[in-house]
């Protein structure tokens, strides 16, 4: 009966470790850029088991899965790039729209000022094109800056979360008699 319980426990630990082991085949600690040295001569298999247990413990206590944080950060960067692209596309034709508005205003002013709506429309269209393009550039720059700031804030937040996770992971490994640095 005891042997069965030990086998079930080891299978559970192995499945936990394999679920958390990154695709590169490195140990959890190496992937997280955490350096672990067995001070009591623990074997590699024991160290892997301990790392898996500490990973689970740190994840539970911090609420952070570093591999998910990386995925979330990548998704945020993609969304920011899409927002910048959408802002750029939304400003297409701004010069033409500005020309139409300027021509209308210029025609009205030209008709009132000197009974020549066509000359006023031509001047108004030229001014409208320049103004529309200038506003579009300003809007694009503002949207790009907002997207960049959002990405930077997400990166900083993610780095803090991962740093906190590494602290918890390290504390657990140190309690299991490993020397840990990151």
Please, what are the averages of pLDDT over each run of 10 residues along the chain (182 residues)?
Answer: 35 41 68 93 93 96 92 84 72 63 61 64 67 75 81 88 95 96 89
What is the pLDDT at residue 26? 76
Calpha distance 13→11 (Å, rounded): 5
Question: How many whole angstroms separate alpha carbon 30 and alpha carbon 26?
Answer: 6
pLDDT recorded at residue 148: 82
- The distance from CA 1 to its chain's CA centroid, rounded to whole angstroms, is 49
pLDDT (0 to 100) of residue 6? 32
Q: What is the pTM of this model?
A: 0.58
Q: What's the confidence (pLDDT) of residue 4? A: 32
């Amino acid at each position: 009966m005891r042997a069965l319980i030990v086998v079930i426990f080891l299978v559970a630990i192995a499945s936990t470790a394999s679920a958390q082991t990154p695709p590169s085949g490195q140990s959890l600690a190496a992937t997280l850029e955490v350096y672990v040295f067995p001070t009591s001569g623990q074997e590699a298999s024991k160290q892997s088991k301990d790392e898996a247990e500490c990973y689970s413990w740190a994840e539970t206590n911090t609420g952070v899965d570093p591999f998910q944080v990386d995925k979330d950060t990548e998704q945020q960067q993609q969304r920011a790039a899409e927002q910048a692209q959408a802002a750029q596309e939304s400003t297409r034709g701004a010069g033409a729209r500005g020309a139409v508005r300027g021509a209308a205003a210029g025609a009205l002013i030209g008709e009132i000022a000197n009974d020549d709506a066509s000359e006023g429309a031509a001047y108004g269209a030229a001014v409208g094109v320049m103004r529309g393009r200038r506003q579009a550039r300003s809007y694009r720059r503002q949207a790009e800056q907002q997207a960049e700031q959002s990405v930077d804030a997400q990166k900083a937040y993610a780095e803090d979360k991962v740093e906190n996770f590494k602290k918890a992971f390290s504390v657990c490994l140190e309690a299991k008699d490993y020397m840990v640095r990151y």
